[in-house]
Amino acid sequence: MNPITSGRRHFEDLAVGEVLVLASVTVTREMIISFAREFDPLPFHLDEEAAKASLLGGLAASGWQTAALSLRLLNDAFLGHVASAGGLGFSDLKWRRPVLAGDTIGGTATIVALRLSQSHPEWGIAEIDFDISNHKGERAMTMRLANLIERREVLMTQPQQPYGTEHGSGRA
């Protein structure tokens, strides 16, 4: 039993179609520049003048920052409240529109598939579709995440050892 996750929702408690409403976050100029300095130091993420002249039209967050902030919103709404066993990865990430300084992003994450892990019977896999928009209602990013979630029932279904046999009862 994992004491950290035992009181949380497990794989069995989830349903396909469940919509997780994410909080929203305002992406400030300082946040954009700070992330870009560390992970994506391109002129249109660092400098307002260079950004205005670029295809993005203004100081824009790194697409990876938009994705990371969306992951944070999912942590607050879901991953921090379920028995997560880690991420497997994601697919079909689409940056549909730049997130500019001052934009507020938020949206939903929907559980679109639930299946059991083939290699690990103690886990299930939840596939979650992100739909992230800006404050004007324009879609900014979509992607599908795959995350491992612990199963609660797996210990109960394993064959039970009769008391004593494991440690050789009667030896005393």
Partner 1 sequence: MTRWFEDIEVGAPYPLGSHVFSAEAIKRFAALYDPQYFHLDEVAARHSHFGGLIASGWHTVVVGHRLMVDALEVEANRLRAAGGEPGVSGPSPGVNTMAFRTPVRPGDTVEYTLTVTSKRPSQSLPGWGLLINRLEGVNQRGEPVYHAEVVAFSKLRDYRMPLGRKLAAALKPLTRIGILKRLRANRR
Provide Rg for the chain, Cα atoms. 22
Q: CA distances (Å), 64 to each of 47, 61, 132, 165, in order?
A: 17, 8, 13, 54
Q: Which residues contact 139 (CB under 8 A, 6 or more apart)?
A: 96, 97, 131, 132, 133
149 binds partner 1 (CB under 8 A): no
The number of residues making up the chain comes to 172
Kindly state the number of chain residues that form the binding site for partner 1, as judged by CB under 8 A: 35
* Residue nearer to partner 1 on the CB measure, 81 or 110: 81
72 binds partner 1 (CB under 8 A): yes
| Minimum distance of partner 1 from residue 151's CB (angstroms) | 12
| Minimum distance of partner 1 from residue 110's CB (angstroms) | 19
List of residues contacting partner 1 (CB under 8 A): 2-5, 38-42, 55-56, 63-64, 67-69, 71-72, 75, 79-80, 84-95, 98, 143
